[in-house]
Amino acid sequence: MIQPQTRLVVADNTGAKSIMCIRVLGGGGGNPKYAGVGDVIVASVKQAQPGGAVKRGEVVRAVIVRQAKEYGRPDGSHIRFDDNPAVLINPQGNPRGTVIAVGQRQENVSRAVGNLPEVKTLLAGYLNLHDLLKHHRLILDREAVRYIEETWGEASEERLRAVRRAA
């Protein structure tokens, strides 16, 4: 349950570390004073990394990805988390972060991406579902595509469909 003045941890690579909810925009029905998982809020950046794309004091929109308050699922189970993280979004509602997956370590890609605060680089072997859902864009080189096809194969399409249906 997120309400105005609630502090949240930022769970993306935009450069913001923590934000404070200013206003609940909603999106999930129920009481408009409180936000839950999947709801959009307006927040102020309270802590930011130096040189990041987001600066301290900037007003941003964010979507709640987890909440510490226990809540019920449609199947009857209940779930809660240790913290209240959010992901910053742009005015169109898309996440602001980006991830680049490469097949092998490439020094020139790592150096180029190091200058971009909203971009994260990963080896294809370390790519996971959390990274896929957290970022708006995914850029793959040919080696990364080959590795993913060999590792996940056709069964991955069925798993991704099941995850999308559950979300």
Residues 129 and 151 in one domain: yes
pLDDT category of residue 107 using cuts at 50, 70 and 90? low
Convert the pLDDT of each residue in 127-153 to its tens digit.
776 676 666 677 777 777 777 777 766
Convert the pLDDT of each residue in 19-58 to its tens digit.
999 999 866 566 678 888 888 999 999 999 888 888 999 9
For residues 38 and 141, the answer to whether their CB atoms sit within 8 Å is no
At 32 the pLDDT is 77
Convert the pLDDT of each residue in 62-89 to its tens digit.
988 888 888 888 888 888 888 888 888 8
State how far Cα 130 lies from the chain centre. 8
Asked which of 59, 89, 119 is the last residue of a domain, the reply is 89
Residue 77 within any structural domain of the chain? yes
At 163 the pLDDT is 62
Here the tokens at position 146 are 């080959």
Strand partners, 7: 20
Q: Is the pLDDT of residue 105 over 70?
A: no
Residues 13 and 77 in one domain: yes
Closest-CA residue to 112 (of 125, 94, 98): 98
Q: Which residues lie below 8 Å from residue 166, measured CB to CB, with a gap of 6+?
A: none
Closest-CA residue to 28 (of 36, 18, 17): 36
Residues 117 and 140 in one domain: yes
Query: Any idea which residue has 């129920």 for tokens?
Result: 30
Residues 48 and 83 in one domain: yes
Q: Which residues lie below 8 Å from residue 150, measured CB to CB, with a gap of 6+?
A: none
State how far Cα 66 lies from the chain centre. 10
Instruction: Give the Å distances, CA to CA, from 23 to 15, 39, 60, 85, 94.
Output: 21, 11, 11, 16, 19
At 142 the pLDDT is 74
For residues 26 and 37, the answer to whether their CB atoms sit within 8 Å is no
Closest-CA residue to 48 (of 37, 59, 63): 59
Asked which of 41, 62, 89 is the last residue of a domain, the reply is 89
Asked which of 62, 89, 116 is the last residue of a domain, the reply is 89
For residues 125 and 23, the answer to whether their CB atoms sit within 8 Å is no
Number of structural domains, the chain?
A: 2
pTM over 0.75: no
pLDDT category of residue 106 using cuts at 50, 70 and 90? low
